[in-house]
């Protein structure tokens, strides 16, 4: 069945929350706090300035998602779109769903003169994702992500 990509709607809330929970379990072995994740998704769905979700569908069923957030670059006088919360249902993995989501975002970015680039972060141990991202033309930058987390889950792995 063909896969279509569309902007998320408020009725996608339950799917996105479930996908985010599954993503956190699979990728970082953490459980998300329902008191944070649900209103966090609602915030993005209600305020496009915070981000955008895209939904992949096949046969009327939601099978994947991707979120964008935005970072202003004064050095480039433009916006980086950060790819986040990427999830594809297990039964549809290996069928190019992520590639379709990524290409959709690339096309949208290409039509928006404010966008100066795409960025994402990936767990150092996720070799499969890293290979897919490289195949799609993403490369390592000279930056490392550092953080201080005030609330919500965080991975405590030492790599």
pLDDT tens for the chain, 159 residues long, are 899 999 999 999 999 999 999 999 988 889 999 999 999 999 999 999 999 999 999 999 999 999 999 999 999 999 999 999 999 999 999 999 999 999 999 999 999 999 999 999 888 888 888 898 999 999 988 888 888 888 777 655 544
Q: With contact defined as beta carbons under 8 Å apart, do 33 and 42 qualify? A: no
CA 40, CA 33: separation in Å to the nearest integer? Answer: 10
Task: List CB contacts of 156: < 8 A, sequence separation 6 or more.
Answer: none
Neighbours of 123 (CB within 10 A): 13
Position 115 scores a pLDDT of 97
- Beta partners for residue 7, in sequence order: 54
Looking at residue 92, what is its pLDDT?
A: 96
Domain range annotation of the chain? 3-135
Nearest to 83 by CA among 25, 122, 55, 111: 122
Pairwise CA distance, residues 116 & 146, whole Å:
22
Amino acid 143: pLDDT: 86
CATH topology of domain 3-135: Aminopeptidase (3.40.630)
Which ranges of the chain would DSSP assign to H, the alpha helix? 13-28, 34-46, 97-111, 127-135
Report the pLDDT value the prediction gives residue 155, as an integer from 0 to 100. 55
Q: Quote the CA–CA distance of 53 and 60 in Å, as a whole number.
A: 17
């Amino acid at each position: 069945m063909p896969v279509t990509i569309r902007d998320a709607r408020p009725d996608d809330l339950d799917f996105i929350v479930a996908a985010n929970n599954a993503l956190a379990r699979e990728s970082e072995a953490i459980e998300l706090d329902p008191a944070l994740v649900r209103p966090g998704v609602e915030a993005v769905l209600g305020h496009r300035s915070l981000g955008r979700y895209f939904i992949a569908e096949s046969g009327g069923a939601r099978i994947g998602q991707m979120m964008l957030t935005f970072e202003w670059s004064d050095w480039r006088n433009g916006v980086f779109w950060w790819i986040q919360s990427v999830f594809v249902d297990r039964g549809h993995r290996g069928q190019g769903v992520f590639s379709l989501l990524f290409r959709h975002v690339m096309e949208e970015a290409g039509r928006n003169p404010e966008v100066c680039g795409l960025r994402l972060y990936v767990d150092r141990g996720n070799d499969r994702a890293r290979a897919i991202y490289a195949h799609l033309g993403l490369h390592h930058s000279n930056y490392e992500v550092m953080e201080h987390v005030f609330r919500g889950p965080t991975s405590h792995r030492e790599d």
